Structure 1
Amino acid sequence: MKNIKHRHIAVFTSGGDSPGMNAALYGIVKKAEQSGIRLSGIRKGYEGLIDGDLVPLDAHKLQKMIHRGGTLLKTARSKRFLTLEGRQRALENLQKNDIDALIAIGGDGTFKGLLAFSEICDIPFIGIPGTIDNDISGTDYTLGFDSAVNTAIENIDKIRDTAESHNRIFLIEVMGRDSGYIAIHSGLCTGTDAILIPESGTDFMDLLDKIKNYHSEDAFLIVISEGDEIGAELVASKIKQINKDVDLRITRLGHVQRGGNPSALDRMLGIRLGVAAVDALLQGRENVMAGILNNQLHFTPFEEVVKQHQVTGEFQELLELFGK
């Protein structure tokens, strides 16, 4: 692998925030400083790239923030970057500031944006997967997923306490627009009675079979991914049709899953991927995402990354086993 000397790298966080982003920034800054590379942060994702909102990044400050959720650089979704005019303004800002490489921390939308940007911009891009949904190919786990699952587990355990006190049915909605990883991990780890995810076509019928025999003698917990095609409200109405006397509640965990201190796994993952992103640029890689497969660093082209990583194989078998 050839060695490339970069003078000025910029980094930004984009899309939904996820625990571990600050740890990734810390890894990037430490490696850039050790390599003698100037590093700038771009605030508010693609919006900041269009507006030229650049800030210096300090390793000492980030060292004290690796335990914090969210992102020091802020984040945003940018409609302007979807336009050619917006991408051209972003390119002008990179050129004006002599930036010769770009690192982006975000999800599949972030990497799709980099693919579009590469059509007019020829500097190398490196991606780091930051999304709690764990729905990106090319890595076993994405930044924030483990923390989000732990948050969901903590809340589901608490809901079980009140559910058992009243013998209620609880529908608990967790995040996961296109992927059921949070639902299946948090549901299995808390011993819930049913798990509904977008990838399964039989989980709803299995649930209805269970509800027919439910006699309000115990709590009954259902975890449902927000992206499930049935939806929490419809599931609740179907349960009421089958058993109109049940005491049922819906709880949506929502954005609490994105907040809070990152887990040890997410902190370490962020540091590893941050350092790996700078190393990749120094090795001459471009337009790839740094990930971890089988606990080894792995680089995947953006074209393959934007394919959805969904629950399959062993996890589907576990869902069928514990859903019966």
Structure 2
Amino acid sequence: MDYGQTKPVHAGPEDGWHGVIGPGSRFPPESGRYHLYIGYFCPFAHRANLVRVLKGLESAIDISVVKAYPKGEAGWSFPGANGPDDTYEDSTPDKLFGSKYLHEVYFRADENYKGRYSVPMLWDIKDGTIVNNESLEMLRWLQTGFNGILPRGSLQRELTLYPKHLRAEIDEVSKWLTRDLNSGVYKAGFARDQAAYEEGVIPVFAALNQLEQLIHKNGGPYVLGEELTELDILAYPTVIRFDVVYVQHFKCNLGTIRGNYPVIHEWLKNLYWNVEGFRKTTNFKHIKENYTKSHSDINPLAITPLGPFPDIEDSVNLDFGHIRPGVVAHPAVLEKQRGLPDI
């Protein structure tokens, strides 16, 4: 991978941060130099934290975890922001600066910053600045940027989620997967009228129909078959949230993963129960309470549903060849799916 910086790390107050960690970069790989800010609720932060764990970088990159709610006008907060009784299970203080709010850390890097105070965000302790706060960029270079400090011959060092022989297919699938599924649930959930909702929700299920067929065609256990790739990392944080949040909270109720997509369901359960890192980085309490208690316009009483129960089912069937693929056969969904690239 080319670790040269192809765009400014931070072009100004309206821009995010786009730094790259790797040999020869402004940000060289060093254990203990970088700190990752995340929220367990956020599917985009989930990507970065998942790659961090899969690559064996937990001791090299520590994390601070914001509370799942409330967000408020000041943005995401850390425990203690509202006094000593302000605690939240599995969140942490800001381990670097003891900040009350995440925006305080952003202003340390740029006091005039006008963008979003989002997670994930990676901080350079040595230079006192933000490295990157774009999850798709982190997903790509975290795979290889720290390889020089990992043990030679280790599985973690050898792991790449973007292998050369699969890059063309990964690039093609990731376009509709990120557009129609990852972003689609938000387009449906935050819609302000019926037309916008339908425009958002129909591509979600077209993408799920397509993903169901793709995993089945390739025989599992991963999206492209026997190799874990970026596509699994892109799909998992959205799919693991689907039944527990998006179905009811974002009105994505044309179907459920466990009820309508048997192939995706087994793929999901296998990752959660059998692949190191996936269960560890998944926190259902943070996920459910963030959405249901942070969006007062969608859920004004902030009541968190008890279901579905369980959050994820067990007993994994990896005989994908004998699973009949499911489909949500709504006419508009099928029409939208026909516009996706052939698998």
TM-score, normalised via structure 1 length: 0.26
Which protein has the larger Cα radius of gyration, Structure 1 or Structure 2?
Answer: 1
Q: Which has the higher contact order (CA 8 A, sep 6+)?
A: 1
